[in-house]
Amino acid sequence: MLQLNFIRENKEATLAGLRKRYFANAEAVVDEVLTLDQQRRDTQRELDDVLSQSNAKASQIGALMKAGDKAAAETAKAETADLKARSKVLADSLRQVEADLQSVLVTIPNIPHSSVPEGRSADDNEVVLEHGDKPQLHEGALPHWELIKKYDRDGGPIIDFELGVKISGAGFPVYKGKGARIQRAMINFFLDEAIKAGYSEVQPPIVINEDSGFGTGQLPDKEGQMYYVTEDKLYLIPTAEVPITNLYRDVILPENQLPVKNVGYTPCFRREAGSWGAHVRGLNRLHQFDKVEIVRVEKPENSYAALEEMSLYVQSLLQKLGLPYRVLRLCGGDMGFTSALTYDMEVWSAAQQRWLEVSSVSNFETYQANRLKLRSKLEGKTQLLHTLNGSALALPRILASILENNQTPEGIKIPDVLVPYCGFDTIS
């Protein structure tokens, strides 16, 4: 959530940032915030004045009674009662205007960083770099949803989409045999690499309450994309970012504990309402998938250096897996609601002849921290910290790319770095 004093003191910069995002009715929304803020401050001042008068009158009553001036004391009592009644009305008005102000503030997305390119959609994202050669596959090479049928053994294919439909529905595949072992191998590889890079592993819950969803910005923006457990009023997590970042909700971190670097593996759940078409076939888009997430809490002055470091770290994983990839800087119209700057990493799928997004690395600056009340005392002053997160990595499209890019007429070659984890070097 944007800080109110930032909007108040930087109206034009706020409007410019919202226009870069193509945020609808930016000027009207910002004007509403400023009007409500002025009402809040006026009401608070009036309430403070009435309470001050009430306290002064109350302190007079005893002295007047002691002096024997009963009439004046009764008058002071009546005036005090009127002031108390007035203070109650003002307190109710203040609560209402604060609620109205909050309800508008939470609809405003983060302001893009100055380096974010102009643009409305994914077509306008900036390609920062490309790495690796796109593999040239043999004649008859197949996309992964067809390729797995070649390895249908007695127990069925290594990824069974039909069995997942039977158990749960579309978008919930069953991984079997070597398919399951590759999944486990990737999870352990990604966790081990993160720990080597200085991240501390946590294993968080995979359901969250409403406060946690609000803290990282999923609520009230994305409730339609989240699975909701109505009886307990809990949400299945869309990413480990949510529970891991919420570890620090309502926390004042000592400066000597910064930066915070956490990594966690979780299953993730997304309804993906409205998704259809060839681009969502197979592993390309799922309702349940596995992901290893890195989360950082940084001093404001260090957060963009940390973002670049996280981008390079994710790239190092892709390089070790031998996958050709590119890095995109997302344009204003394609960024997530809470992000100030996002890099997407996409892997080339040789069989599908398209780029597949496998990671997003984002700096939220103070946007999440303001909701979370995540602070530290820096240079003698309590300040909001910066939060960052990144996929390191999301498994489904990584697995799809490994299967497709490494297929040969004899079988599918497993990346060397995964062989010690899964115990085989080929699927044949």
Tokens of 221: 């923006």
21 is in an annotated binding site: no
357 is in an annotated binding site: yes
Q: What is the dihedral of CA 38, 41, 46, 48, to 10 degrees?
A: 180
Task: Give the DSSP letter of residue 78.
Answer: H
362 is in an annotated binding site: no
Sequence spans of domains, the chain: 4-105, 122-427
Residue 207 to residue 186: CA distance in whole angstroms? 23
Give this prediction's pTM: 0.93
Q: In what order do the strands lie in the sheet with 407-408?
A: 407-408, 411-413, 426-427
391 is in an annotated binding site: no
Please state which architecture CATH assigns to domain 122-427: 2-Layer Sandwich (3.30)
What's residue 314's pLDDT? 98
359 is in an annotated binding site: yes
What's residue 273's pLDDT? 61
Annotate 309-359 with DSSP letters as a single string.
HHHHHHHHHHHHTT--EEEEEPPTTTS-TT-SEEEEEEEEETTTTEEEEEE
Residue 338 to residue 344: CA distance in whole angstroms? 15
**Burial class, 368, CB count within 10 angstroms (exposed 0-12 / middle 13-18 / buried 19+):** buried
Please, how many CA atoms are within 13 Å of residue 391, restricted to the half-sphere of its CB?
23
What's residue 278's pLDDT? 54
What's residue 279's pLDDT? 65
Residue 264 to residue 206: CA distance in whole angstroms? 11
Ramachandran bin of 282, using left for φ above 0, alpha for ψ from -120 to 50, beta for the remaining angles? left
Least Cα distance to 339 among 309, 315, 304 occurs for: 304
Superfamily of domain 4-105: Serine-tRNA synthetase, tRNA binding domain (1.10.287.40)
239 is in an annotated binding site: yes
What's residue 218's pLDDT? 95
Please, how many CA atoms are within 13 Å of residue 285, restricted to the half-sphere of its CB?
12
103 is in an annotated binding site: no
Residue 9 to residue 14: CA distance in whole angstroms? 9
406 is in an annotated binding site: no
- Residue-by-residue pLDDT tens, the chain, 428 positions: 999 999 999 999 999 999 999 999 999 999 999 999 999 999 999 999 999 998 888 888 777 777 777 777 778 888 888 899 999 999 999 999 999 999 999 999 999 999 999 999 999 999 999 999 999 999 999 999 999 999 887 678 999 999 999 999 999 999 999 999 999 999 999 999 999 999 999 999 999 999 999 999 999 978 889 999 999 999 999 999 999 999 999 999 999 999 999 999 999 999 986 555 556 799 999 999 999 999 999 999 999 999 999 999 999 999 999 999 999 999 999 999 999 999 999 999 999 999 999 999 999 999 999 999 999 999 999 999 999 999 999 999 999 999 999 999 999 999 999 999 999 999 99
Count of beta carbons in the 10 Å neighbourhood of residue 205: 13
342 is in an annotated binding site: no
349 is in an annotated binding site: no
In one-letter notation, the amino acid at residue 13 is A
Q: Same topology for domains 4-105 and 122-427, yes or no? A: no
